[in-house]
Amino acid sequence: MAGQFRSYVWDPLLILSQIVLMQTVYYGSLGLWLALVDGLVRSSPSLDQMFDAEILGFSTPPGRLSTMSFVLNALTWN
């Protein structure tokens, strides 16, 4: 006999908690990758590496580090 895995009841608290959990896991692991990459190349950590659009690109060394961290984070959770 197969188990019941689907819920047909609307549960907004469950949906909201899943969204919050996934965002927490994503940004937490991205922060860990940024800290690891910054520690390896002895760069100064900054929140701009996560949230500033001007830094995210290949034209500057901090942009390359940030992009590398985003790629590593994407490969970690695939």
Residues 20-72 pLDDT 10s: 999 999 888 888 888 888 788 777 767 766 677 776 677 777 778 888 888 88
Q: How far is CA 66 from the centre of its chain?
A: 11
Residue type, 44: S
Please tell me the distance from the alpha carbon of residue 11 to that of residue 6, in angstroms, as a whole number: 12
Please tell me the distance from the alpha carbon of residue 77 to that of residue 52, in angstroms, as a whole number: 23
Residue 60 is part of which domain span?
Answer: 12-76
Number of domains in the chain: 1
**pLDDT over 80 (residue 10):** yes
For residue 7, being part of any structural domain is answered with no
For residue 5, being part of any structural domain is answered with no
Location of structure tokens 């940024």: 34
The confidence band for 78, taking pLDDT boundaries of 50, 70 and 90, is: low
pLDDT at 3: 65
Long-range contacts of 73-76 (CB under 8 A, 24+ apart): 73/26, 73/29, 73/30, 73/33, 76/29, 76/33
For residue 4, being part of any structural domain is answered with no
Say what the pTM is: 0.66
